[in-house]
Amino acid sequence: MRRDLTPTDMLDPDLLQGVVRQATYQCRAEGSGFYLCDPEHDRIWLLATHNLKEIPWDEAFLRRVIDCRQAVSEMLADNSVLLAAPLIWQDAARGVLIVHDSNAGRTFRDRDVALLQSLADMTASVAQQNERLARMTAQFRTLHTIDVALTSSLELGRVLNLILEKAAELVGAEHGSLRQLDPESGKLVLKAHYGYGWTPEKLAYTPRIGQGIARWVAENRRPYLSPDVRNDPLNIVLFEDMRSSISVPLQYGQEDSSEPDKFLGVLLLESSRVAAFDQQDVELLEALAQEAVIAIQNASQHQKLRTEHEKRLAAEKWAVMGQAATALAHRINNLMGIVPVSSRETLRSLSKLEMPDSERQWIEGNLGRIERNAKFVLKLSDALFRPFKDSGPTARLDVNHLLNEALEYADLPANIEVIRNLEKTLPTVSCSLLLVDIFLELITNARKAMENSDRGRLQVSTRSQQDDAGMWVMVEISDSGRGISPDQMDHLWNMFQQSEDGLGFGLWWLRTFIERQGGSIECRSEPGKGATFFVRLPAFGGRQPEVEQ
């Protein structure tokens, strides 16, 4: 019996009373009973009886009728006689209609067997149709709920997981996966999974060309129904206890599904039951797939618009701050540039005058402080202006090369061990040459965090990452230094968040610059356990070709 369907969903109690009454009359018996079975969960319900003061048979007799799947006649110890006929639908014994006569020597003839079996078959037909209608009502109600849920979110990851979860609920599946097609590599990339037992190895599995049910659906753009995957040469076994599967394509419209750009991916569901799915489930999942495609398209478009909006805001912020920083730096240079020169000239003039040593030392000390403070202000001005200097047009840059260059510039001491984990086939990025300053700033900060350690460790890693927005270059710079406290982390990216010997611009301009390039940066740290900075930059061209596995 399908999940969530009760016996009364399939057979009305009044109808059953009519059935057992007719069985008694037609077979000229004393009484009768009707049982409904759930072969999946090994359960039997007595739903109706007629003219029985007590039940003369036991459950073992019912089991024999169910197992042999044909009418059975049997004499009891008191010489009373039983005749039972199974109700067969969906290739399983789903019920038993039974009559009883206590007259000694009574036998049920072939006519009685035929009448009882005909009545059982008619009741099975009614039950099957009622079950189908009940399922359809529940499924259409679920489809409406799914439609509402899918339109309530524009977060792509949530939408994909919601599609898979609701699809599994719709057809009673225990396992499932949703894979999207990468148009460049042709891979079916796992985007959502459902059920238990998803190990890292199973999550990493990607169907190869010509192998697996999901790949067949992707190549043929048609649904696939497998009643018993153990006898299906297309099936790739990921979960040993799965027995049947159903899979449908995710594509824009059914009329012209041959166009590659209309195909998005594959939805595949599995069950531990043999023949758990039927053609009605295929039709329902195809209807759901159309809703899913619209939801995926809306979420993807929203994600692209949000990314572009964030990039545009970063560029506008960069431009406004650049104008303000340039004007302020220019004014500071004009006002303060003369101070160090004037301080030194004053010192030279004082050297020609006669005065007490104590007074000379006091004046020289004050002039020295004035010169140092002026140089600090000029350094501050240069730090403020430097990120906004025109570094020329963007170029295709090798991130691995820039990291090695930044490590060389940083001139790290011998007590810091440098570990490089650089992906050899890393895509290039289109970026300003200031990117090397970004890496140098992060490496320099890491070196400062490890200054009081006898031994330090700096790890620099790169890798490529593909998602719905395209291909990304990921950079991780990790140190074994003192770490960052939660209070410091709350204000880490603020302008003028000054470090022990910094000016308070480093991390602010660094993040602003990366966001302007369409990327992002974040930091994770625990006090005493070091810090790791994660930089994400869009790869050149957005998507990079990959080699089929």
69-99 pLDDT tens trace: 999 999 998 889 999 999 987 778 889 999 9
> Secondary structure of 244-304 in the HEC alphabet?
EEEEEEEECCCCCCCCHHHEEEEEEEEECCCCCCCHHHHHHHHHHHHHHHHHHHHHHHHHH
- Residues whose CB is less than 8 angstroms from the CB of residue 326 and which lie 6 or more positions away in sequence, other chains included: 385, 388
Reading the block at residue 219, the tokens are 């190549």
The pLDDT of residue 428 is: 92
> What kind and span of H or E run contains 467?
strand 456-467
Adjacent-strand bridge partners of 263: 251
Give whole-number Cα distances, 437 to 19, 443, 478, 510, in Å.
Answer: 86, 10, 17, 9
User: Are 66 and 43 a contacting pair, CB within 8 Å?
Assistant: no
Q: What does CATH list as the number for 151-303?
A: 3.30.450.40
* Sign of the dihedral defined by the CA atoms of residues 167, 171, 174, 176, in that order: negative
Burial of 166 (C-beta count, 10 Å sphere; 0-12/13-18/19+) = buried
Fold of 395-538: Heat Shock Protein 90 (3.30.565)
The Cα 35–Cα 16 span in angstroms is: 10
How distant is the alpha carbon of residue 84 from its chain centre?
Answer: 52
Pairing of strands 92-101, 81-89: antiparallel
- Please give the DSSP secondary-structure letter assigned to residue 546: -
One-letter amino acid at 210 equals G
User: Are 98 and 36 a contacting pair, CB within 8 Å?
Assistant: no
Residue positions counted in the chain = 549
**Other CB atoms within 10 A of residue 242 CB:** 23
- Please give the DSSP secondary-structure letter assigned to residue 230: G
> Secondary structure of 93-141 in the HEC alphabet?
EEEEEEEEECCCCCCCCHHHHHHHHHHHHHHHHHHHHHHHHHHHHHHHH
One-letter amino acid at 484 equals I
User: Are 206 and 549 a contacting pair, CB within 8 Å?
Assistant: yes
Reading the block at residue 279, the tokens are 């053609």
- Please give the DSSP secondary-structure letter assigned to residue 195: S
How distant is the alpha carbon of residue 343 from its chain centre?
Answer: 64
Three-state DSSP at 155 gives: coil
The pLDDT of residue 2 is: 46
The pLDDT of residue 344 is: 78
Fold of 7-138: Beta-Lactamase (3.30.450)
pLDDT tens per residue across span 3-62: 444 555 567 888 889 999 999 999 999 999 999 888 766 788 899 999 998 999 999 999
Q: C-alpha dihedral over 329, 335, 337, 341, to 10 degrees?
A: -170
The Cα 180–Cα 265 span in angstroms is: 4
The Cα 143–Cα 133 span in angstroms is: 15
The Cα 185–Cα 250 span in angstroms is: 18
The pLDDT of residue 361 is: 84
pTM: 0.44
Tell me how far apart the terminal alpha carbons of the chain are, to the nearest angstrom.
42
Give whole-number Cα distances, 344 to 59, 263, 353, 382, in Å.
Answer: 111, 75, 15, 22
How distant is the alpha carbon of residue 498 from its chain centre?
Answer: 39
Phi-psi region of 541 (alpha: psi -120 to 50; beta: other; left: phi over 0): left
- Low-confidence stretches of the chain (pLDDT < 70) are 1-10, 40-41, 134-156, 253-261, 295-307, 309-311, 313-331, 334, 380-393, 468, 495-506, 541-549
Give whole-number Cα distances, 534 to 459, 522, 523, in Å.
Answer: 12, 5, 6
- Please give the DSSP secondary-structure letter assigned to residue 539: B
The Cα 479–Cα 152 span in angstroms is: 42
- Residues 415-447 as b or e (16 or more Cβ within 10 Å = b): ebeeeeeeeeebbbbbbbebbbbbbbbbbbbbb
The Cα 150–Cα 170 span in angstroms is: 14
The pLDDT of residue 300 is: 66
